[in-house]
Amino acid sequence: MSVIDLFDRGWRQNPAGTAYVMGERHWTYDEAGELSCRIAHALLDAGLPAHVHAAVLAPNDPVAWICVLGIWRAGKTWVPLHPGEPSATTAQLMRRFDCTVLFFHSTMRDEVRQIIELVPGIRLTVCIDADEGDTFPSLDVWTRHQPPTRPVVGYDPDDIVMISPTGGTTGLPKGVMNSHRSLTNACAHHLLAFRYAEPDPKVNLAAAPLTHTAGVLSLQTTARGGTVVLIERADPASVVEAIERFGVTDLFLPPTAIYRLLDWLDGQTRDFSSLRYLAHGAAPMSVEKLKRAIEVFGPVLMGGYGQTEAFAAISFATPEDRFVDGQLAPDDRLNSCGRPGPLLSVEIRDDDAHPVGVGVSGEICVRGDLVMRGYYNDPEKTAETIVDGWLHTGDIGHIDADGYLSVTDRKKDLIISGGFNVYPSEVEQVIWSHPAVNDCAVIGAPHDDWGEMVVAVVELSPGRSVTPEELIAWAKAGLGSVRAPKRVDIVEQLPRSGTGKVLKRAVRESYWTASGRRI
């Protein structure tokens, strides 16, 4: 099965139905599908090599995502880009991943001119929404005489369809090669987790750019013939308005966006009756804020765990998993990532790669069709990460007696202070529970006697205040003195990637650089 088959299933099922909505503009499945076919034919007629890597640089826009569908339909490889990244960063990714085709939105023409200067290998550049004169062809002109029918393109399930940058939280992003096989497997896991019967309405809200991770996450909606509603950004007012206006049934938000939403909603009564799934992932979530979100939105919170290397679908904590015998589950269950999906194997292994027992912590290892093919042009890193068919995720976790997977931390984030192992996520959960705290990052900073000391870097909620001393006392009450932070620094804003992940390496580096020591 090819990845474009997922869209085509919805197209066959609901040709006159609405596939994408943004503002007042609606695209039917026929309109979106036929445009993707014209794009595919134009790519095939452009005189490009057989193996082309193509990217789309645009704010959230249905036509930008339809370009990705056209790239896949032509049998080419998509390189996801985030429009919020600096031009130099985008250019670096395109050079490293040998990207030769670029579709772009006219609002980003200045960035594109800079990118073209930095990426001499680009052979084709198309503006998706405007006529750029002789500089770049417009999508409309470029595809005008192409047929709206599916081209005949052969494929192998293991062909690479996406080279996706890793989060870059610990260094330069690597290029994760995902295939038809791995992405269709990811979609299958999403289809199993989001339990819709075929006649049920399915309205997905895409609050992040589809030309990044959100596009792949939308495939489970269009595979069912549902509707994807796009908004420019995940600001609380836009999210709430879209839910109420379009009857949104499911959406994904990173924890930081949910925290902002909860603060914005404080005291308001809004209509969330259409929601069946409010999914969160990409970073750990505060258990206290999760409980608050369940109170506000109802029993619809869906947790998930995945990696770019095993695309966003290793395990899911369904709304039902958050309850036991009709009551809210204990904190350890709420903090879990649910049970692993049925189409892969998950083992917890020790440092010698031996499986460990129930409840014992170790590295999370994954095997199955969900796993990437490897890192682009990096066989050594691939060999380190995939051993005997098992993906070594670099995450520490355990599986309990009921089969629930909990992620404790990244192996590289473990703090060893005075001979004691301190897991940052455990400390973060306690600090997150303080009502004044919006977000935090716990890291190990150099210490002459202990090797490392526990430091919490804290971002406060709007209008709230707390002293470092009060937070240290709060943490000691919940953790004891060994694991509690010895230092708390309050900052205006934590550094984050384009997808909202806190860049712990950036936080950690400032402390180690100041000490004159290397991480």
pLDDT in tens, 421-437: 788 888 998 999 999 99
Which of 91, 333, 318, 379 lies closest to 193, judged by CA?
318
- Read off the pTM: 0.86
Q: How confident is the model at residue 202 (pLDDT cuts 50, 70, 90)?
A: very high
Q: Cα-flanking dihedrals φ and ψ of residue 154, to 5°?
A: -75, 155
Q: How confident is the model at residue 316 (pLDDT cuts 50, 70, 90)?
A: very high
More confident residue, 19 or 477: 19
| Residue type at position 326 | G
Strand partners, 125: 102
pLDDT given for residue 482 in this prediction: 79
Interval 254-267: pLDDT, tens: 888 898 899 999 88
Q: Does 515 have pLDDT greater than 70?
A: no
What's the chain's length in residues?
Answer: 519
Q: How confident is the model at residue 170 (pLDDT cuts 50, 70, 90)?
A: very low
Q: Does 410 have pLDDT greater than 90?
A: no
The span from the CA of 370 to the CA of 179, in Å, is 9
For CA atoms 270, 275, 277, 283, the dihedral sign is negative
User: What's the rounded mean pLDDT across residues 284-288?
Assistant: 88
Ramachandran category for residue 199: left, alpha or beta (phi over 0 → left; psi -120 to 50 → alpha): alpha
Strand partners, 305: 315
Q: Which helix (H) or strand (E) holds 366?
A: strand 362-368
Q: How confident is the model at residue 198 (pLDDT cuts 50, 70, 90)?
A: confident
User: What's the rounded mean pLDDT across residues 234-255?
Assistant: 95
User: What's the rounded mean pLDDT across residues 180-200?
Assistant: 93
User: What's the rounded mean pLDDT across residues 315-328?
Assistant: 95
Kindly give, in sequence order, each residue whose CB lies less than 8 Å from that of residue 513, ignoring residues fewer than 6 positions away.
none
pLDDT mean across residues, the chain: 92
Min mean pLDDT across 212-216, 281-285, 349-353 is at 281-285
Q: Does 508 have pLDDT greater than 70?
A: yes
Q: How confident is the model at residue 282 (pLDDT cuts 50, 70, 90)?
A: confident
Share of the chain above pLDDT 90, in %: 76
Structural domains of the chain, with CATH: 4-181 (3.40.50.12780), 234-410 (3.40.50.12780), 415-515 (3.30.300.30)
User: What's the rounded mean pLDDT across residues 437-458?
Assistant: 88
**What SS3 state is found at 51?**
coil
CA 70 to chain centre: 22
β-strands 415-417, 386-387 pairing: unpaired
Cβ-based neighbour number of residue 16 at 10 Å: 8
Min mean pLDDT across 134-138, 369-373, 475-479 is at 134-138
- For residues 155 and 180, the answer to whether their CB atoms sit within 8 Å is yes
pLDDT given for residue 168 in this prediction: 52
Q: How confident is the model at residue 438 (pLDDT cuts 50, 70, 90)?
A: very high
pLDDT given for residue 169 in this prediction: 46
Interval 120-131: pLDDT, tens: 999 999 999 987
Q: Does 518 have pLDDT greater than 90?
A: no
Kindly give, in sequence order, each residue whose CB lies less than 8 Å from that of residue 368, ignoring residues fewer than 6 positions away.
185, 343, 344, 345
User: Could you tell me how many helices (H) and strands (E) the chain has, helices first?
Assistant: 17, 28
Q: How confident is the model at residue 21 (pLDDT cuts 50, 70, 90)?
A: very high
Kindly give, in sequence order, each residue whose CB lies less than 8 Å from that of residue 253, ignoring residues fewer than 6 positions away.
207, 234, 239, 261, 278, 279, 280
The span from the CA of 406 to the CA of 348, in Å, is 11
User: What's the rounded mean pLDDT across residues 211-228?
Assistant: 93
Min mean pLDDT across 138-152, 166-180, 229-243, 440-454 is at 166-180
Q: Does 516 have pLDDT greater than 70?
A: no
pLDDT given for residue 186 in this prediction: 96
